[in-house]
Structure 1
């Protein structure tokens, strides 16, 4: 007999994280379209929950860009205080860099890929949901605007596609247990056309 998975219960901590994430990113918009950045955070958190993530992972998904984009170590301290060590560790595991652009684009991406390769299952789940949502957004923009969309990416088309493919390969190499892996692969295949 197979045990049924119990649905993740979302508590006041999750509600607090939603409010905090929206406040932190209130002035930010998405790279390609002038829509609130919070849409990305909510989408990533939803993907984590759809992938059977727990509440801490869903909270980390809401805050996965907070340290990198909104205050660095000071923001990290607040997250640690409000949401605890596990949420903070998950975010640390999928944060590219705390101080923006300290190294060359490709070096940053290589370091990030290594961090993901050796990271915890929870950090990897959040990172996977993040990259899936980002790649879906890129694909939507490509369909609407064409290849001009690649101009806003540090790696341009070739570097960005290299990064997404290398990221996916890490998950495929160890058969990462997630429904999101196959979805990411389909989106990447569409982007590569």
Structure 2
């Protein structure tokens, strides 16, 4: 894993105690400084659209504005040199699932292709389905998903795991208490998700983003 990419996400801030504290925005400032996202009107439009859609939301068990997450996912794609449209979809990837925005809103503002990518990244409503059933659905869906959806999903999970790793360095195993399922269930999910991402991809070894995800899984769930 390229640790130079994420030092501010992996280590506690100076003066942090071992007790759990919400993550701050240092990681966001770091990645924008070290990996500048090339300006484009559609990227700016998507960033504003997502920021407004998520304006009253925060990351789980923290006071971080939720927009921090989709921006980080998009920046990961930029680091691995994926196309602008994929990075735009990454900014929007939780808007249909977690806000009042609809697929029609995405299509009207960003076109059908980006709408299709965002739909592909959105977990459908499962009513009263269990956590296990919802995760099995995601794993099965990603087995045959188009490559852009697989890559965006991978970047999404990479940022989630980096967040866990950052918090674990501060709080230790208490970090697992914030999830609906514990460490072993999370291990099962990420290992099977990684397998589904590899399937039906031509030359998956050429996608270094998969290696990054695999390395994180090994590091966190060792």
Asked whether the two chains share a fold, i.e. TM above 0.5, the reply is yes
Partners of 1:124 and 1:101 in 2: how far apart? 24
Partners of 1:137 and 1:101 in 2: how far apart? 28
Question: TM-score, normalized by length of structure 2?
Answer: 0.77
* Equivalent residues, number: 183
Partners of 1:28 and 1:50 in 2: how far apart? 26
**Consecutive unaligned residues in structure 1, runs of 5 or more:** 1-7
Question: TM-score, normalized by length of structure 1?
Answer: 0.87
Would the aligned equivalents of 1:9 and 1:55 in 2 still touch at CA under 8 Å? no
Would the aligned equivalents of 1:64 and 1:95 in 2 still touch at CA under 8 Å? yes
Partners of 1:61 and 1:100 in 2: how far apart? 23
User: What is the aligned counterpart of 1:89 among 116, 123, 139?
Assistant: 116
State the shift of 1:155 in Å: 2.1
Partners of 2:38 and 2:59 in 1: how far apart? 29
Partners of 2:219 and 2:102 in 1: how far apart? 36
Where 1:154 maps in the other structure, the secondary structure is: coil
Indicate the residue corresponding to 2:210 in structure 1. 181
The residue correspondences of 1:74-153 to structure 2 (distance < 5 A) are 74-97=101-124, 99=125, 102-153=128-179
Partners of 2:196 and 2:39 in 1: how far apart? 30
Partners of 2:216 and 2:87 in 1: how far apart? 22
Would the aligned equivalents of 2:73 and 2:156 in 1 still touch at CA under 8 Å? yes
Partners of 1:34 and 1:101 in 2: how far apart? 28
**Consecutive unaligned residues in structure 2, runs of 5 or more:** 1-36
Structure with the larger RCO, 1 or 2 (CA within 8 Å, 6+ apart)? 2
- CA-based RMSD of the aligned residues comes to 1.8
